[in-house]
Each structure stands twice: as structure tokens, then as C-alpha cells.
Amino acid sequence: RLGRLQIEWSLDSTNQWLLEAPDTPCGTVVVAEHQRQGRGRRGRAWVSPLGANLYFSLLGCFQGGPANLAGLSLAVAVSVVRALSAQGVQDLGLKWPNDILLQGKKLCGVLLELQGEAGGPCRVVCGVGLNVNMPPTAATDIDQPWTDLQHSLAQPISRQRLLTGLLDELLPAMARYEQEGLAPFLADWRRRDAVAGKPVQLLLPQRTVHGRAAGIDAQGNLLIERNGCQESYCSGEISLRTG
């Protein structure tokens, strides 16, 4: 349930803001028009120019979990895809663990940050950055193939309507994940999997694994086929292998 909706002109990072506000009620959503230090996964920056895109974080509270935060991030990505397709966005795909792609290019990223202990009472800050109308000048700082909604939609799209649709999907999804885990999200994730069956490389802290992506298991781990065996990975960064 939505606790409080707070809209700010400019913040360092909506995730950071919630992490530093320990008394904020569960279900609080904070939105910023601009982030000075938007954060991406793996210590990257998230390009967050003023008034063009959506940057928001919501605070989920869990009583006895989630033991598996990685699975939650997949459930969040599925919820974003459900909300966007309900608003007529087509050709959406998912790249493990939680990149949302449009026509194969990154449209939206999800960053979950945990406070407390996984498996015990904890707060999860769930940050979503959605490219709606990226100014070309800002885009020069993006280090991967990207797109925005405006590029691929005939009509302009209202950020307010988008946000409402996203929250309507995301807030119940957090509660559902706590009760039922990844199961109610698995089929949609697999249907949208943009890399299954393709040759990929998985970047791990100490090494790189080459193989063929083979979808995800019931916990949300990435499956890779290598030398005739299937291996599962719970972290890392995949890219398609071209060579």
C-alpha cells in the first residue's frame, strides 16, 4: 500500500534519500525530477537529467524476509514490464537480473538496496529509473545501448500516468513476493527473457564465464549452458557475445 508520496525537485539519489530516512513509513514513495548522484547497479552512475525521465524509489518492509533479495529484483522488473505493457508499450524484454529493454536496448533499470538482515525484518529500498524522454545532451554519458519511451511511441506519454501505473503494479507486487516468492512472476519473466538461447558472457568479480543463456531457475538464478552442463549463477553481469 502507498504510504506517502513525496515529490522532490532535486535529490542526490532517491534511493539514498530513503536509506537515510529511518523513520519513513513503509510504502513511502519518493520521486525526484532530477538526481545529482543517481546510482546504478555495480557502482555505476545513473544518468538523471532534469524533468525528462522518471526516477523514484519505494520503501518496502518485510517481516520475515525476503530471504532471497535477488528474486525480488526479478519480480520488480516483471512488474515494471506489466505496468508498461498495460499502457501500450510493446516490444519489451528482460535481461537478467532486472534490466528492462525496449527493442533490445536498455529502457529502465532497477536498484534494490537492503537495510536489516535478509531473512529477518528488513527494509528494502527499490529504485526505478525509467528513460521517458532523454535529452540527447545527457545521453552522451550513458555507457550502454539505451533507448527511451519517446523514441518508440507515436504519442507523447504522460509521466504522471506512467508513475501511477507503475506504483499500482509495484506496491502489491512487493507484498505478493513476500507471501509467495518468485512463483507468480516466473512465467512472465521467462516469456520476456531477451537473452535465453543466445551466446553470452557473464562477468564475475574474478573471471568471465562464456556459454549459452538457458533462462532462470525457480529462485531467479541465471542458468548458463557450458560444455554440455547447466550451471546456475546468482550474481554477475551478462552481455551478449558477438565474437
- Give the residue ranges of the annotated binding site for biotin: 13-15, 35, 39-41, 106
**Residue 73 within binding range of ligand BTN, rule CB under 6 A:** no
What the block records as the C-alpha cell of 223 is 542458468
**Residue 97 within binding range of ligand BTN, rule CB under 6 A:** no
Please identify, using beta-carbon distances, which residue of 56 and 96 lies nearer to ligand BTN: 56
Q: Residues 110-149 vs ligand BTN: string with x where CB under 6 A?
A: xx---------------xxx--------------------
For residue 109, the cross-strand partners are 129
**Residue 44 within binding range of ligand BTN, rule CB under 6 A:** yes
Contact status, residue 93 vs residue 191, Cβ threshold 8 Å: no
To the nearest whole angstrom, how small is the minimum distance from the Cβ of residue 17 to ligand BTN?
A: 8
Q: Report the residue number whose CB is nearest to ligand BTN.
A: 109
| Strand order from edge to edge, sheet including 28-35 | 4-11, 28-35, 54-62, 122-130, 105-116, 99-102, 92-95
Among positions 109, 165, 181, 236, the unique one binding ligand BTN when judged by CB under 6 A: 109
Q: Would you name the residues annotated as active-site residues?
A: 41, 106, 241
Contact status, residue 8 vs residue 33, Cβ threshold 8 Å: yes
Contact status, residue 31 vs residue 7, Cβ threshold 8 Å: yes
Among positions 34, 41, 123, 151, the unique one binding ligand BTN when judged by CB under 6 A: 41
- C-alpha span between 162 and 170 (Å, rounded): 12
To the nearest whole angstrom, how small is the minimum distance from the Cβ of residue 112 to ligand BTN?
A: 9
Closest CA to 220 of 180, 184, 186, 175: 186
**Residue 15 within binding range of ligand BTN, rule CB under 6 A:** yes
Q: What is the full DSSP assignment across 170-193? A: HHHHHHHHHHHTTHHHHHHHHHHB
- C-alpha span between 72 and 127 (Å, rounded): 12
**Residue 185 within binding range of ligand BTN, rule CB under 6 A:** no
Among positions 46, 62, 96, 177, the unique one binding ligand BTN when judged by CB under 6 A: 46
Among positions 24, 28, 57, 68, the unique one binding ligand BTN when judged by CB under 6 A: 57
Q: Residues interacting with ligand BTN, by CB under 6 A?
A: 13-15, 35, 38-41, 44, 46, 55-57, 99, 109-111, 127-129
